[in-house]
Structure 1
Amino acid sequence: MSRTKNRRRGSILVFILVVIVVISVLSLRLIEEGIREINHLSQFHRRDDLRMHAYSAMDVAVGVLNEFKLIEGKLYSPAQGWGDPMSYAGVAPLDESVTWSVRLIDESAKVPIYKVNEKDMTALFALMMAEEESLVDEDDGEPFFDSMMDWVDGDDEERDEGAEDDYYESLESPYFTPDKKINNFEEFRLIKGFPHDPEDPDDSGIFFDELGNETVNMKHFRDSFSFFNDGPVNINNASPFLKKFLCGDDERLYEDLMEGPVAGGEPYYVNPNSRNIMAMRGKRNVSIGTSATVFRVEVTVTRGKANFQLHAILSSGTSMAPRPPGPGGRGKIGASSSQKLKYPFRVLSIRENENLVD
């Protein structure tokens, strides 16, 4: 009898121990799930906090630009003092664990991409194809211009060295021409001649190599052309490549331009009718000025391994190109809101945690 009772007691103890183990395992699982859920929710809180810092940093940058504009009358060059807005303002994040950086790029120092005529664009592509060669054959740029025009025009008539739907449909991954203006630089990956073509390696790959990486020509093109600026090119902040192109074959003019103005005492041009600028106007059919009116703002905010990026295009005047509907359309909303809020700059486009506005 006593043995039976002992066995029952032992069974009960074993059962209790098993229950305790099961409950412990379940408790640990619940705790782990709870920790994961808390971490997940805290990510959104941290992101919103970094987002707030990013927009605050952009407001500081806009305030600095507006201050210089009010005092100086016009913005010409970062040499005026607005190139590093956060240092100028002396503002730091309230949270010491947060760091931020703001990069201002003069978008008006680029040529409006929709305002370049056939002769100048063909000459540019020919210059890129020539690379280090001293002789430039402008006929070498014709295939790229023809392909670009066939990509955007609304007809099915193929230009002499261009490509219409018949060409793109025959590719391994076929697609059609959009028959509308190019909306961003990445679109050139799809246009004949600009990406590398293994069947025609000598006359392709001007913007992207066989691995799909951007070539130096693509970098020059990004630095020289804009989808947002619709006014004169601010020669003060133009890239060396663009300055050289705008000077044509006049090496002496390019050297003088790189040295800066000889009079006035400023390291940048103020008078749009100075001798060097007047000489440039006869080289290319591109409007040239000396003031900055459209800005690209790139904000990066970090805390530990977390980061938040903000990209915006701001305009201080009317020198802005209309954006077609689509991914870039958010700029219209910003522009309307900025007018209602009396924001000193119009917001043409804005993106969070992604490149790119173009």
Structure 2
Amino acid sequence: MKPPNSPTGQELFGNHRGVAILIAIGVVAVLLTAGLALNSRIRSSVTGAFLARERVVLSEMAVSGVQAAMVMLINDRKENDTDTLQEDWANPEKVAEMMGLIPYDEGRVDVHISDERGKIQVNALVKFPEGQQFSASQRFLWERLLDQVFSLFEEVPDSDPNMIINSLKDWLDHGDDEAITGLSGAESDYYEGLEPPYSCKNGPFDHLGEVALVQGITPDLFAGAGGAVGLSSLLTVHGVSAAGDGRFTYDGKINISTADVAVLATLLPPENSDLAEALADYRVAKADETYTNTISNAGWYKNVPGAGGITINPDLITVSSDLFRIVSTATRNERTATVNVVVQRVKEDGTGRWICKTLLWQAQ
């Protein structure tokens, strides 16, 4: 006889079915969660693989731009030994035509070539290989440079040009014996008292960022501000040459046929600095797409109207170069990769071939 209040067979079946449904729902929920997690991992892996592939492709595209620029520079050197803004490597349209010869399935590469010899060699301020005394012509150049740069700021930078020049000399020279240059130079005891502390280099600048560490060179002076040009765009640390017996020097010569307007102004006498724009325009003047002025000799500036009576120290200028900066930017699928390279154009001893030797390679 069935006990009172005991479930019937139908009720037991119904209860078991409910439990089974709950178990099934639980299993489905677990599987769904696991599936979503797996899907997320797969999507993440696929996305990561895609992005990695894109980075590799963009990098290779940017490198191809550098290689194409090197070819242009080598071909240019085979044709002549001068370097001016009238040549193909300095013409954005000609560079773009060169890049157009390289087939890309997608995307594009934009390349810009500039002459590092068109800048002021910061390491030439001191006479190497001795590395103890100012170069008189380079000190004059720095005085003019700082006058020009300071004048571009609406608010005068909180620094002193003479202090900057003396401190640069102390950074470059081999002595570190408290014998600072003038009353405003700086040796290691000054820099080691800063926070964070660091030592005076007592040797040539290896990279441009070191210049920003020198006493008196404020961030605005180095990088520029408010539309005013900064020192970083007008200087180069490159340009070393052999001085015999394993020693080195810096000749400090500036390519007057490629230099920036601000650098041209530093080369001119103070009373004639306003002619810098006229010199810059003279270099690229055209008639019917043909350059009208010859700028392949160092005295071409005397042909500029108003500049006939001017003399620039011949120790400071040249019209040839062996140093170039190549900036190659690859764009693809709304992503970019940039390579910033400085090369030196040299002739191989063994083969006599012209090559571009890499001095700096920065991927951005």
Contact 1:124 1:141 (8 Å CA) reproduced: no
Contact 1:110 1:229 (8 Å CA) reproduced: no
**1:344 aligns to what SS in structure 2?**
strand
Asked whether 1:244 is paired with 2:270, we answer: no
Give a deviation string over 1:261-291, Cα, whole Å, max 9, x none. 89xx753411235573998996447431112
Asked whether 1:305 is paired with 2:334, we answer: yes
Which of 236, 258, 276 lines up with 1:226 in the alignment?
A: 236
Structure 2 vs 1, CA of residues 111 and 99 (structure 1 numbering), >3 Å: closer, same or farther?
A: same
Q: How far apart, in 1, do the equivalents of 2:192 and 2:66 lie?
A: 45
Q: How far apart, in 1, do the equivalents of 2:277 and 2:21 lie?
A: 94
1:137 is aligned to none
Asked whether 1:292 is paired with 2:321, we answer: yes
1:176 is aligned to 199
If the length of structure 2 is used for normalisation, what is the TM-score? 0.73
Structure with bigger strand share is 2
2:359 is aligned to 348
CA apart distance, 1:228: 1.6
Asked whether 1:272 is paired with 2:298, we answer: yes
CA apart distance, 1:309: 0.9
Q: How far apart, in 2, do the equivalents of 1:47 and 1:64 lie?
A: 26
**2:100 aligns to what SS in structure 1?**
coil
**2:186 aligns to what SS in structure 1?**
coil
Which amino acid in 1 is paired with 2:140?
A: D
Structure 2 vs 1, CA of residues 180 and 221 (structure 1 numbering), >3 Å: closer, same or farther?
A: same
1:325 is aligned to none
Higher relative contact order (CA 8 A, sep 6+): 2
Contact 1:51 1:308 (8 Å CA) reproduced: yes
Contact 2:96 2:111 (8 Å CA) reproduced: no
Structure 2 vs 1, CA of residues 285 and 33 (structure 1 numbering), >3 Å: closer, same or farther?
A: same
CA apart distance, 1:242: 1.3
Alignment of 1:1-358 (within 5 A): 1-2=8-9, 3-70=11-78, 72-82=79-89, 83-84=91-92, 85-89=94-98, 91=100, 94-116=103-125, 117=135, 119-124=139-144, 127-128=147-148, 131=151, 141-153=161-173, 154-157=175-178, 158-159=180-181, 160-195=183-218, 207-208=221-222, 214-215=224-225, 219=229, 221-230=231-240, 232-251=253-272, 254=276, 257-258=279-280, 260=282, 266-274=292-300, 276=302, 283-284=312-313, 286-317=315-346, 344-353=355-364
**1:174 aligns to what SS in structure 2?**
coil
Structure 2 vs 1, CA of residues 193 and 234 (structure 1 numbering), >3 Å: closer, same or farther?
A: same
Aligned residue pairs: how many?
A: 314
Structure 2 vs 1, CA of residues 187 and 57 (structure 1 numbering), >3 Å: closer, same or farther?
A: same
Structure 2 vs 1, CA of residues 235 and 313 (structure 1 numbering), >3 Å: closer, same or farther?
A: same
Contact 2:224 2:231 (8 Å CA) reproduced: no
CA apart distance, 1:311: 1.4
Structure 2 vs 1, CA of residues 297 and 280 (structure 1 numbering), >3 Å: closer, same or farther?
A: farther
Structure 2 vs 1, CA of residues 240 and 103 (structure 1 numbering), >3 Å: closer, same or farther?
A: same
Larger Rg: 2
**1:309 aligns to what SS in structure 2?**
strand
Q: How far apart, in 2, do the equivalents of 1:41 and 1:181 lie?
A: 43
Q: How far apart, in 1, do the equivalents of 2:316 and 2:145 lie?
A: 20
**Percent of aligned positions with the same letter in both sequences?**
19
Query: Which has the higher mean CA deviation after the structures are superposed, 14-23 or 165-174?
Result: 165-174
CA apart distance, 1:217: 10
Contact 2:339 2:362 (8 Å CA) reproduced: yes
Give a deviation string over 1:64-103, Cα, whole Å, max 9, x none. 3333333x32342232333234433362553453121000
Structure 2 vs 1, CA of residues 216 and 109 (structure 1 numbering), >3 Å: closer, same or farther?
A: farther
Contact 1:260 1:268 (8 Å CA) reproduced: no
**2:197 aligns to what SS in structure 1?**
coil
Query: Which has the higher mean CA deviation after the structures are superposed, 124-133 or 302-311?
Result: 124-133
Q: How far apart, in 2, do the equivalents of 1:100 and 1:129 lie?
A: 33
**Alpha-carbon RMSD:** 3.6
If the length of structure 1 is used for normalisation, what is the TM-score? 0.74
Structure 2 vs 1, CA of residues 130 and 11 (structure 1 numbering), >3 Å: closer, same or farther?
A: closer
**1:316 aligns to what SS in structure 2?**
strand
Structure 2 vs 1, CA of residues 16 and 259 (structure 1 numbering), >3 Å: closer, same or farther?
A: closer
Which amino acid in 2 is paired with 1:120?
A: F
Unaligned runs of 5+ in 1: 134-139, 197-204, 319-334, 354-358
